[in-house]
């Protein structure tokens, strides 16, 4: 049996030769399965000696080592530079929301960077970390932009703790739970906590208080690189920090308490002050916006904007049991704050008792006002002292609850929820039925928004669902790229749920049809996995004698540990000839001979079992199905066009699901 080896942190360290079907033998599994960044790798911090004395006020600049790169010309006669000019003129003229409609292959990332080059400090938001990596590979080394003043544009990525070396424990990532800024302040960690307390340069010489009275600030400074960001209305007692102020959203000022240089996780936040362009993944961006901590920029550019808008529907989850345990570890001096903590715990206890008495049906949908959850979230919104203290204790689960409260702040009355019990913990899933209010918050907080996509929502959906009334559309490339052919294995069938429920087809039929599609496909092959459950388990692989298909367990493990998108880079570099992924629906390109075949495990319909779709059907049945089908159509197109980036590209499409092949035929007919 093929086996993977994991370390004590549960991270993939190595694989046996049996995985050579999926990973090249040349794959370099680094310590703990990932490459850990160091500060020397932050390109925006490097001083460049390529200053150009000639002032360049043109609207287009893109360079490589071989010279300047001209803007692409589209089938409608426009160039990338024309699109930049149109967008800049609209924003300077007062338009707050501009949509760029450009099919796959338009070069929207280069357009975005040139808009930033003209307008000034910019946030760029991408849907997945893999696209962050693509920006890094394409525009921070191979290519670069020179600003009108002759200096190279500084582009920075903000990435999570797990991607960075902790420095004080070399080879250990910054999300290591035993680090001073993350360690749980509990009795079982007493010895380590005491060690950190004594190493804290701010309080040396003092006896350690009872552990129940400890605050994060008592131990976190033992890591000399620990550098928090706080609202300027709070003062952190960090005498060795350089206080770097910047303006966040809603007129709020923040301070980056930058202590010792050298840890890339903390040093990357220098980008909030210095970088010309800050690249966020959408999850991090939404959190920073909710907390008003994102720097105020001249424009925010959303790549793959239709998915960004769709994800406003994504439900937020709170583990109420964990929250109750976490909030009691926050030690505050204010009597009012202590009362709030007690109230939150009491409300959670009441909700738990209610569910014990009445039982839990995870299909039952409640208005938030019918539960104790609204009161809990409002308590967090009303007490800033808890937020301030929790922000210093980054892994305290209370921070997550505060983030959720702020995300729903303007639209709590339109919030719906469901409850679920997992093992012994009580969870609540929250959904905002009114997506327009959530999006309006981002519009109001920023100076201007540019939304880019090749598969925009219809104008009617933008107005009806997202409340966008005042916007302009700029057309870029309007034609789909490349050509598509269908390849059949002969085992395809309609994989809709009803056919399985009626026993017309079995799970085995599906798995064998999927294996046949992959076996028939011309390599290199991109396999779009719609859901992990579409893949066979290890037991099914053994039972059915399958060799071509990766197991569900393997893909979950590989993607969990591949935090920087290394498997995608390997596939693009032809170091592997099959890529199974749930993460390449958007933003990542596989042009030319990089990918010859695209396999869909199933047609990418949304999961109607999710809380959002249940709530939407209940609250807005008038446009439920239109929105549902539109999302599936856009996701389908995006997945095909990962491999079609120019008119010369060609790809074969395969799937065990006849619905996929029918959709391809309809696309072929429409383009004739």
Residue 161: name the closest of 147, 144, 190, 181 by CA.
Answer: 181
User: What pLDDT shows up at residue 205?
Assistant: 67
Q: Indicate if 507 and 620 belong to the same structural domain.
A: yes
15 CB neighbour count, 10 Å cutoff = 19
Residues near 213 by beta carbon (within 8 Å), at least 6 away in sequence? 331
Asked if the structure places residue 310 within a domain, the reply is: no
Asked if the structure places residue 200 within a domain, the reply is: no
Q: Indicate if 413 and 513 belong to the same structural domain.
A: no
**Which position has the token pair 């327009």?**
436
Cα 485 from chain centroid? 32
Asked if the structure places residue 30 within a domain, the reply is: yes
Q: Render pLDDT for 2-16 as a digit per residue (tens, 0 to 9).
A: 344 444 344 444 434
Q: Which region among 156-160, 354-358, 522-526 has the lowest average model confidence (pLDDT)?
A: 354-358
Does the pLDDT value for residue 263 go beyond 90? yes
Q: Indicate if 385 and 494 belong to the same structural domain.
A: no
Q: Indicate if 539 and 648 belong to the same structural domain.
A: yes
The mean pLDDT value for 30-40 works out to 71
Query: Which CATH number covers residue 653?
Result: 3.40.50.300
Asked if the structure places residue 254 within a domain, the reply is: no
DSSP string, 413-432: GGEEEEEEEETTEEEEEEEE
Q: Indicate if 517 and 633 belong to the same structural domain.
A: yes
Q: Render pLDDT for 643-653 as a digit per residue (tens, 0 to 9).
A: 988 888 999 99
Q: Give the C-alpha separation, 253 to 270, whole Å.
A: 15
**Which two tokens mark 370?**
């019918």
Q: Which residue has the higher pLDDT, 4 or 306?
A: 306
Q: Which residue spans within 135-175 are E strands per DSSP?
A: 143-144, 155-157
Q: Indicate if 530 and 427 belong to the same structural domain.
A: no
Q: Indicate if 419 and 561 belong to the same structural domain.
A: no
What percentage of the chain carries pLDDT values higher than 70? 93
Q: Render pLDDT for 327-343 as a digit per residue (tens, 0 to 9).
A: 988 888 788 888 999 99
Q: Render pLDDT for 341-397 as a digit per residue (tens, 0 to 9).
A: 999 999 999 999 998 888 888 888 999 999 999 999 999 998 888 888 888 888 899
Distances in whole angstroms, Cα of residue 501 to Cα of each of 254, 496, 504, 552, 662? 55, 9, 8, 22, 22
Under 8 Å between Cβ of 44 and 159: no
N-to-C CA span, the chain: 49
The structural domain count of the chain equals 3
Asked if the structure places residue 28 within a domain, the reply is: yes
Task: For residue 519, give its domain range.
Answer: 483-670
């Amino acid at each position: 049996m093929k086996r993977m080896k994991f370390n004590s942190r549960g991270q993939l360290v190595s694989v046996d030769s049996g995985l050579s079907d999926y990973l090249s033998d040349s794959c370099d599994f680094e310590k703990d399965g990932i490459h850990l960044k160091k500060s020397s790798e932050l390109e925006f911090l490097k001083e460049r000696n390529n200053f150009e004395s000639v002032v360049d006020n043109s609207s287009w600049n893109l360079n490589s080592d071989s010279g300047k790169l001209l803007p692409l010309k589209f089938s409608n006669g426009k160039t990338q530079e024309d699109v930049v000019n149109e967008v800049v003129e609209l924003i300077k003229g007062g338009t707050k929301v501009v949509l760029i409609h450009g099919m796959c292959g338009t070069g929207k990332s280069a357009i975005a960077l040139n808009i930033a080059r003209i307008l000034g400090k910019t946030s760029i938001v991408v849907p997945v970390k893999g696209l962050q990596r693509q920006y890094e590979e394409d525009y921070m080394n191979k290519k670069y932009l020179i600003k009108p003043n002759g200096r190279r544009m500084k582009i920075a990525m903000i990435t999570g703790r797990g991607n960075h070396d902790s420095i004080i424990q070399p080879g250990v990532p910054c999300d290591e739970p035993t680090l001073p800024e993350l360690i749980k302040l509990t009795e079982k960690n007493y010895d380590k906590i005491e060690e950190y307390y004594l190493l804290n340069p701010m309080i040396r010489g003092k006896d350690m208080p009872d552990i129940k009275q400890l605050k994060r600030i008592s131990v976190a400074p033992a890591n000399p690189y620990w550098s928090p960001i706080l609202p300027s209305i709070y003062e952190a007692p960090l005498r060795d920090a350089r206080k770097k102020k910047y303006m966040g959203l809603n007129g709020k000022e923040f301070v980056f308490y930058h202590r010792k240089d050298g840890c890339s996780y903390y040093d990357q936040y220098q980008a909030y002050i210095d970088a010309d362009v800050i690249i966020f993944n959408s999850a991090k961006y939404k959190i920073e916006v909710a907390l008003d901590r994102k720097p105020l920029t001249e424009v925010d550019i959303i790549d793959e904007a239709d998915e960004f808008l769709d994800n406003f529907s994504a439900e937020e989850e709170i583990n109420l049991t964990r929250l109750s345990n976490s909030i009691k570890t926050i030690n505050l001096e204010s009597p009012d704050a202590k009362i709030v903590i007690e109230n939150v715990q009491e409300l959670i206890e009441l909700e738990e008792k209610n569910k014990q008495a009445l039982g839990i049906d995870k299909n039952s949908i409640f208005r938030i006002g019918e539960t104790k959850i609204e009161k809990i979230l409002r308590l967090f919104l009303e007490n800033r002292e808890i937020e301030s203290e929790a922000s210093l204790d980054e892994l305290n689960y209370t921070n997550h609850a505060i983030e959720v409260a702020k995300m729903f702040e303007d639209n709590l009355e339109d919030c719906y929820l469901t409850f679920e019990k997992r093992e012994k913990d009580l969870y609540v899933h929250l959904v905002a039925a009114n997506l327009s209010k959530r999006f309006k918050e981002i519009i109001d907080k920023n100076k201007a928004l540019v939304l880019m996509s090749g598969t925009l929502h219809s104008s009617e959906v933008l107005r009806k669902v997202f409340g966008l009334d005042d916007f302009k559309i700029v057309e870029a490339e309007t034609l789909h790229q490349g050509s598509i052919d269908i390849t059949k294995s002969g085992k395809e069938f309609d994989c809709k749920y009803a056919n399985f429920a009626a026993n017309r087809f079995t799970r085995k039929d599906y798995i064998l049809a999927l294996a046949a599609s992959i076996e028939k496909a011309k390599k290199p092959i991109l396999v779009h996995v719609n859901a992990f459950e579409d893949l066979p388990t290890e037991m099914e692989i053994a039972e059915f004698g399958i060799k071509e298909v990766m197991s569900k367990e393997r893909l979950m493990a590989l993607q969990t540990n591949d935090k920087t998108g290394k498997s995608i880079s390997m596939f693009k570099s032809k170091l592997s000839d099959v890529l199974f992924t749930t993460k390449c629906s958007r933003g990542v390109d596989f042009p030319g001979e990089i990918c010859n075949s695209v396999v869909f495990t199933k047609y990418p319909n949304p999961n109607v079992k999710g809380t959002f779709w249940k709530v939407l059907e209940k609250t807005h049945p008038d446009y439920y199905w239109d929105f549902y089908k539109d999302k599936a159509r856009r996701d389908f197109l995006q997945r095909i066009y990962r491999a079609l980036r120019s008119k010369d590209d060609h790809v074969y499409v395969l799937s065990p699901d006849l619905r996929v092949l029918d959709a391809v035929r309809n696309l072929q007919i429409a383009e004739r």
